[in-house]
Amino acid sequence: MDKYALLITLNLPFIFFGIIKAWAMYKKRIVNRFGLLLRLLFWLVIAAGLIFDREIYNFLVAHHLTDSVPLSLADVVLTTGVIFSLFLCMRIYTKLDLLERRVDELHERLSIRLSSKS
Amino acid sequence: MNANEKVCIIIPAYNEGTVIGSVLDALPRSVKIGKQVLPITTIVVNDGSADNTSTEVTKRPWAVLIDHIMNSGAGAATRTGLSYARQHGFTAAITMDADGQHHPDDAAKLINEILKSEADLIIGTRFKDTSGMPARRIIGTRGLNLITFFLFGVWVSDVQSGMKAFSRRAIEAIHIRSNNFAFCSEIIWMAHVQKLRISEVPIKVIYTTYSLSKGQLGQTDIVAGMRFLRQLLKQRFMRSING
């Protein structure tokens, strides 16, 4: 199978899912129109990158931006992207934990206060 | 021990309507320490039960009922009970299960021990006499003891025991975060971290078909064990990051 086609096949479902999710959030009024536009823009930029991956890659190769000895620009971008994703995951995970703790605390205080009133 | 001692028994309960009444009726309402008789406050934390647990407790006016608005787990219910004890100035607290597996005499025994001894946390261990205990539960609990030891460096013979006694110092110092059954190990870990004195006292366990049907180790043990490990790792990890 063509590697470019494989790249699109593997990643396109994520983009579809992202767009559908953004649309659902807009319909449920979780995000406003601006939020929807931002999300759509984000996923469409990724989709464009995927669709034109052959052209982009040819451009990078032609300009020696993927030379991997000692480190290519593509390597730098890729590694930075991975690290940034890990950073985001970590940040979200810790924020979720803090939020969970606050909800637990709220639940506990509410339960005690309501019980003492009854 | 002084005249201002306040003692409570905390019972987290979830869908225990069929047994909670008899458990409450059997519990001691006072304990004699030397020449002094101390009243015992029983606190039931109803963890969002869908049955008549709450109604059964309200029929007994001597018991304090705290209703969780939604079901949150045994750890969350115990945390609420300990928080209540902290807020109301209790000097000693006992936690015990609501399914009737703990002997009421052991509650009085643990109160005596926590008030008389130097210990801050006493664990009622079921492992001094394992007769009647199903083999899979023995193996499962011993496995969880080992996991707790390797993760937190503290060894107790019955990490999953629901019957524990807390001194005032322990009530103040132990703040658990686990909502589920990992809270038992977390209590021991926190006591170890806070340099509290931990001891063990043997207790008797009444195994009935009902009590055996309850508890996480009665289900698929490997899955429960994995879930338990994941929860403890999460607690260990998040405490390192978020404090």
Instruction: Give the angle B127-B129-B135 at the CA atoms, nearest 5°.
Output: 70
Q: Is A115 on the interface with B (CB under 8 A)?
A: yes
- B39 and A90 Cβ atoms separated by less than 8 Å: no
**Is residue A76 domain-shared with residue A57, that is, in the same domain?**
no
Closest CA to B6 of B96, B87, B101, B121: B87
**Is residue A20 domain-shared with residue A53, that is, in the same domain?**
yes
Q: Answer whether residue A94 shows pLDDT above 60.
A: yes
CB spacing of A94 vs B238 below 8 angstroms: yes
Residue type, B222: I
**Is residue A58 domain-shared with residue A6, that is, in the same domain?**
yes
Q: Which tokens in the block code for residue B51?
A: 């049955």
- Alpha-carbon distance of B16 to B45, in angstroms, equals 11
Residue type, B236: R
Chain A residue numbers with beta carbons less than 8 Å from the beta carbon of B69 are: 107, 110-111, 114
Please report which confidence band the pLDDT of residue A81 belongs to, taking 50, 70 and 90 as the band edges: confident
Chain A residue numbers with beta carbons less than 8 Å from the beta carbon of B53 are: none
pLDDT, greater one: A75 or B96:
B96
- Alpha-carbon distance of B242 to B144, in angstroms, equals 25
Identity of the residue in B76, B84, B179 whose CB atom sits nearest the CB atom of A112: B84
- Please tell me the predicted confidence (pLDDT) of residue B54: 94
Work out the average pLDDT over A54-69.
Answer: 83
Q: What is the ipTM of this complex?
A: 0.80
| Per-run averaged pLDDT (10 residues), chain B, 243 residues | 81 94 93 87 95 94 94 95 95 94 92 92 86 77 87 89 95 92 91 94 83 58 77 78 61
- B182 and B160 Cβ atoms separated by less than 8 Å: no
- Please tell me the predicted confidence (pLDDT) of residue B167: 96
Range of the domain at A107: 68-118
Q: Answer whether residue A67 shows pLDDT above 80.
A: no
**Is residue A4 domain-shared with residue A47, that is, in the same domain?**
yes
- Please tell me the predicted confidence (pLDDT) of residue B60: 94
**Is residue A44 domain-shared with residue A98, that is, in the same domain?**
no
**Is residue A50 domain-shared with residue A6, that is, in the same domain?**
yes
In Å, what is the CA distance from A80 to each residue of A12, A61, A63? 22, 20, 20
pLDDT per residue as tens digits for the range A4-28: 888 888 888 888 888 998 899 889 8
- Please tell me the predicted confidence (pLDDT) of residue B212: 67
Domains detected in chain B: 7-242 (3.90.550.10)
**Is residue A15 domain-shared with residue A73, that is, in the same domain?**
no
**pTM score of the predicted model:** 0.77
Identity of the residue in B64, B79, B241 whose CB atom sits nearest the CB atom of A108: B79
Q: How far does CA A110 lie from the centroid of its chain?
A: 35
Q: How many domains does chain A have?
A: 2
Q: Is B84 on the interface with A (CB under 8 A)?
A: yes
Identity of the residue in A94, A111, A115 whose CB atom sits nearest the CB atom of B242: A94
Q: Is A94 on the interface with B (CB under 8 A)?
A: yes
Three-state secondary structure call for residue B45: strand
- Please tell me the predicted confidence (pLDDT) of residue B63: 94
Going by DSSP bridges, is the β-strand pair B36-46/B63-67 parallel, antiparallel, or unpaired? parallel
- Please tell me the predicted confidence (pLDDT) of residue B53: 94
- B78 and B45 Cβ atoms separated by less than 8 Å: yes
**Is residue A14 domain-shared with residue A44, that is, in the same domain?**
yes
Q: Is B223 on the interface with A (CB under 8 A)?
A: no
- Please tell me the predicted confidence (pLDDT) of residue B215: 56
Please report which confidence band the pLDDT of residue A80 belongs to, taking 50, 70 and 90 as the band edges: confident
**Is residue A6 domain-shared with residue A48, that is, in the same domain?**
yes
**Is residue A6 domain-shared with residue A58, that is, in the same domain?**
yes
Nearest CA in chain A to B77: A108
